[in-house]
Amino acid sequence: MSLTSCLLPFSQSATAPLTSTCSCHLSASFSTFPVSSRNYYSYLRNESLVLNGGGSNLWRRFYGSAADLRSEETILETDLVTGSHKAGDSPYVSKQFLDGLSDVPRGASLCIAVVGATGELARGKIFPALFALYYSGYLPEDVGIFGYSRKNLTDEDLRSIIASTLTCRVDHQENCGDKMDAFLSRTYYINGGYDNRDGMSRLDKRMKQIEGVSKANRIFYLSVPQEALVDVACNIGDKAQAPQGWTRIIVEKPFGFNSYSSHQLTKSLLSKFEERQIYRIDHMLGRNLIENLTVLRFSNLVFEPLWNRTYIRNVQVIVSESVAQTAKYSDGYGIIRDIFHSHILQTIALLTMEPPISLDGEDIRNEKVKVLRSTRRLDPADAILGQYKSRSGDKNEAILNSVGPTYCAAALYIDNARWDGVPFLVRVGTGLIKHRVEIHVQFRHVPGNIYRDNIGVNIDLGTNELILRDEPDEAILVKINNKVPGLGLQLDASELNLLYKDRHVLVFLNFAPTQVPDSYEHLIHDVIDGDNHLFMRSDEVAAAWNILSPVLDEIDKHHTAPELYEFGGRGPVGAYYLWAKHGVPWADE
Ligand SMILES: NC(=O)C1=CN([C@@H]2O[C@H](COP(=O)(O)OP(=O)(O)OC[C@H]3O[C@@H](n4cnc5c(N)ncnc54)[C@H](OP(=O)(O)O)[C@@H]3O)[C@@H](O)[C@H]2O)C=CC1
Ligand SMILES: O=C1O[C@H](COP(=O)(O)O)[C@@H](O)[C@H](O)[C@H]1O
């Protein structure tokens, strides 16, 4: 995560990028340079030292998370912000400070193992994300990438599997082929089972060969189906944890099937790992919009004072996908377990939580869990389940009897002082007419509005609305009333429109066109950084299941039939009635 970034000339004599955890012998050709945040990280790009501020900081990039090494971090921050600088000022990092870096002990190496390396997710998302991070200098030069699975493959086999999915992004053109070769040459394959310790012992040995005797950190990405998860986690826990460095495991969603199975899974994970080692990933939370929710709320004055039941009338969270998910939901998981449990509830938590005391992951998670616990359990009467019809043959037949819901509309309430009585309407579905991911925050009417008669017949059209749009075309829009030019006094609801593709088409880094990093890239970077605020903690997972349990139990007990809808249509009609029941105007399609 990077909130700020500045480009700085870097001396030709510099010997290694700061991100290389092996060498910190830096020299700079300048004495001071501005940095715009308390937290920094840096990397070399085209002979320029780029400092980034935000959730990361320089110390973390060398040594791990705040949670892992809090005291050392504090020491470094004290060094960084010195002299006359007040909080909020742009502090200067002195040459002495940079020179001092040469005394910082040698950094740790990093091994990343992808377990389930032959799978769709590993090939399509994880390895490409790792390459993108490697290309951009976010992985140490001496990183080791491991693929692990049951298939009998060689290093070369794995390299050609990975190579077939690697691409150079538009902002990754320079030396991309060389970088790919370098990346692949650091990739190794281990063949092993998931339910025995031998394979993990061999993986551990191979990692040690690469790590040598220096401090070495490890990340294990568990990209395996649920049935293999616990075995894999336990064997890693027993046989492959880093002997002298931190170990982090990334666990893929869904996080269990219901409250009970999730609790069992959590218990198994916590029997081998500490909470801070576990990163439960939902890649949809790696979207720019999600990170922006808190930035928008807490770094602007204009929203937070209105962010409560006095001014907000309702909130609508919409995830509408035009694609089919038949294969994915054919095992009965359905959209509630797949998207509602993590993505939707985390989005609502970030939107509604109280201000955390800092950007530290635990501080943010503490606030998220409070609001999740304050969220009322979802009444089955306030949930509309849908399933798209089969696309050929009998239009009245559900795709498969066992298929879980492919659509869910729901009304949630948060029973706390800030949100009492405000409906949170959720619409999440696949096989729908439009691909659309949006959050609508509708504000209340202006009390005693003297322009009431000039707004038109429908006063609802005259309420202010904040729209946070992720897809299509990321944007932030604010609907406001304004006078139509000309004689007379006619008001018009117009949109203040921050369209990202116009505003952020060029980045400041070399003015090269850039692409927004893939969400896996974002989140794996956070794991390396030890920034866990976008990953669900065990108590958040449990609180989220608790909200959804009444509906899931009802479906399981009574085999509730979902309302059928046309593939490519607008979803079940019941959703419109639900909106009306809760007094919420339907957000435009
Ligand atoms: N694919 C995606 O886009 C997304 C996936 N996920 C989650 O990520 C994880 C991995 O996804 P994906 O790659 O699609 O999964 P796959 O079904 O492709 O499985 C990954 C690998 O696990 C091994 N495997 C498959 N079935 C089993 C089994 N029953 N028992 C043990 N090992 C098995 C196979 O490796 P081998 O036989 O070589 O050992 C396979 O290549 C899953 O938990 C999924 O829910 C989450 C979000 C999106
Ligand atoms: O996990 C899932 O994610 C995809 C969205 O992935 P993205 O790469 O477009 O962010 C979603 O389509 C799918 O329904 C869901 O299961």
Instruction: Find the 283 Cα to ligand 2 centroid distance in Å.
Output: 8
- Of all protein residues, the one whose alpha carbon is nearest to atom 14 of ligand 2 is 325
Any ligand 1 atom below 6 A from CB of 223: yes
Query: Which protein residues are within 6 Å of ligand 2, measured from CB?
Result: 283-284, 321, 323, 325, 328, 338-339, 430, 519
| 466 — pLDDT class (breaks 50, 70, 90) | very high
Q: Which residue has the higher pLDDT, 319 or 97?
A: 319
In a domain, 446, yes or no: yes
Omega before 562 within 30 of 0, i.e. cis: no
Which one of the ligands is nearest to 280 CA?
A: 1
Question: Residue 402: pLDDT band by 50, 70, 90 thresholds?
Answer: low
Domain boundary among 80, 103, 126: 103
Tell whether 271 is covered by a domain.
no
Last residue of a domain, one of 86, 103, 120: 103
What is the domain-level CATH number for residue 556? Answer: 3.30.360.10
Ligand closest in space to the Cα of 331: 1
Q: Which ligand is nearest to the CA of 437?
A: 2
Query: Is the domain of 219 the same as that of 304?
Result: no
The values of phi and psi at residue 583, to 5°, are 65, 35
Residue 69 falls inside a structural domain: yes
> What is the set of active-site residues?
343
Does residue 237 sit in the same domain as residue 341? no
How many domains is the chain built from?
3
Q: Which residue CA neighbors atom 6 of ligand 2 most closely?
A: 284
In this structure, the answer to whether residues 20 and 142 fall within a common structural domain is no
> Which residue's CA is the closest to the ligand 1 atom numbered 37?
150
**225-252 per-position pLDDT tens digit:** 999 999 999 999 999 999 999 999 999 9
Q: Please say if the pLDDT value at position 78 is more than 50.
A: no
pLDDT of residue 154: 97
Regarding whether 117 and 83 lie in a shared domain, the answer is no
Residue bearing the CA closest to ligand 2, atom 7: 284
Residues in a beta bridge with 480: 494
Ligand 2 centroid to 418 CA: how many Å?
Answer: 32
- Has residue 463 been placed in a domain? yes
Domain boundary among 61, 88, 103: 103
Same domain, 91 and 114: no
Q: Are residues 60 and 173 in the same domain?
A: no
Q: In 3-state terms, what secondary structure has residue 42?
A: strand
Residues 6+ away with beta carbon under 8 Å from 101: 18, 24, 26
Domain of 394? 285-581
Beta strands at 278-281 and 407-412: parallel, antiparallel or unpaired: unpaired
Percent of the chain's residues with pLDDT above 90: 61
Query: Ligand 1: distance of its center to the CA of 122 in Å?
Result: 8
What is the C-alpha separation between 408 and 426, in angstroms, rounded?
Answer: 8
CATH number, residue 198 = 3.40.50.720
Query: Are 489 and 568 part of one and the same domain?
Result: yes
123 and 96, same structural domain? no
Q: Reduce the DSSP state of residue 260 to 3 states and report it.
A: helix
Q: In this structure, is residue 511 part of a structural domain?
A: yes
312 and 381 share a domain? yes
Q: In this structure, is residue 56 part of a structural domain?
A: yes
Round the average pLDDT of the chain to a whole number and report it. Answer: 81
What's the pTM? Answer: 0.83
408: which 2 tokens?
């869910």
Tens of pLDDT, residue by residue over 337-369, are 999 999 999 999 999 999 999 999 999 999 999
Looking at the fold, whether 290 and 324 belong to one and the same domain comes out as yes
Question: Do residues 114 and 46 share a domain?
Answer: no
What pLDDT is recorded for position 4? 32
Residue 273 domain-assigned?
no
Angle at 369 between CA 419 and CA 355, to 5 degrees: 60
pLDDT digits (tens, 9 = 90+) for 23-62: 223 333 222 222 223 233 333 333 333 333 333 332 233 2
Does residue 449 lie within any of the structural domains? yes
pLDDT of 505 reads 60
pLDDT at 468 over 70: yes
- Verify that 314 and 331 share a domain, yes or no: yes
Residue 277 C-alpha to ligand 1 middle, in angstroms? 22
